[in-house]
Structure 1
């Protein structure tokens, strides 16, 4: 089913929200929620599935022995088992992705009467799936602003930041591919106004 077919056959309008590290995507997602737009947070869904008593713990433990405990997934141990191993990473994704998709579908059913919902997907362009959305909004700020924000995070180093950037689709490419770009290199009030304008545009048709 193409994007145009989806527009003709469904409600709500599904807006994908993405952006590179340090671009302010979480803040923008909160702005959508403040305006009453339901937001599905893919990262939060993964934390629930892998947290204490999480639905995926048995499958992850079976595939990666010693990677889970009473508190859920042991991130350091699991990370060590999949880091740099594409086959192991694919095995983990084959466990996680279907469960996240199931939660996303339940979210859509719950909010079926809404005119607009947002899917907050950090690695949308890296992992694919944009074709399943009605439109994509990319959160973006100047590179100097991004760098300052990220290096202010605890434990972050220039080397770690450079490695993360290498794994992500460049911001310029994300902006070029997006249907909408939300600038967070301005004041919060200006970004909030831009989000409100976008919501009005997408819900007034």
Structure 2
């Protein structure tokens, strides 16, 4: 089974690209969704124990948690020590299920693939990319987003140029949906030939 690591900086179109893989019949593990589920479940109690006051009605309040960990490397490490093992366990369960179903290719949708060292757990890296001006326009159109927040997010991410240099394949979303869909189809054809 070929494991694709799908990543891309904020506003590059990674979620849309992940859906294109799903539309092509490929199972996609969405790491953000796993974290959201964990924040409503298994991770809530240990996170509350480590960061008292961040859980409201049994669910981790992401804004409160962000206030506690942003800019504090030690706090972020404590949070990652709680969340990452739970995410990896969910990933392992996903893999077992896909293997049992005979999947030939699976996708891990991991926004911080390089930043967390997760690139070592995949066979192929696909980076979703768009020109800077397109990225900026997409991100600044999001509710509550500011130039400052956008700059702070970019500061924490591996630069797009470096991601593209480390990728096996790049999906270019700046040229529109059809061009991106064609990139995804070409990637799948290439990988099926390998398999």
Question: Structure 1 length as normaliser, TM-score?
Answer: 0.91
Alpha-carbon shift at residue 91 of structure 1 (Å): 0.6
User: Counterpart in 2 of 1:167?
Assistant: 156
How many residues are aligned here?
192
Q: Where does structure 1 lack aligned partners over 5 or more consecutive residues?
A: 1-11
Matched, 1:61 2:48: yes
How far 1:78 moved relative to its partner? 1.3
1:75 counterpart residue number: 62
For residue 14 of structure 2, what is the aligned residue in structure 1?
25
Name the SS for the 1:17 alignment partner.
strand
Rounded to whole Å, the distance in 1 between the matches of 2:97 and 2:39 is 22
TM (normalized to structure 2)? 0.95
Unaligned runs of 5+ in 2: none
**Superposition deviation, residue 139 in structure 1:** 0.2
Deviations 1:101-160 (A, max 9, x none): 000000000001111000000011111121221010000001111111111111111111
Distance in 1 separating the partners of 2:132 and 2:162: 13
Q: Is the 8 A contact 2:171 2:184 kept in 1?
A: yes
The residue number in structure 2 matching 1:41 is 30
Output the aligned Cα RMSD: 1.0
- Could you tell me how far apart the structure 1 residues matched to 2:180 and 2:72 are? 39
Extract structure 1 runs of 4+ deviating beyond 3 A.
none
- Residue 103 of structure 1 corresponds to 90
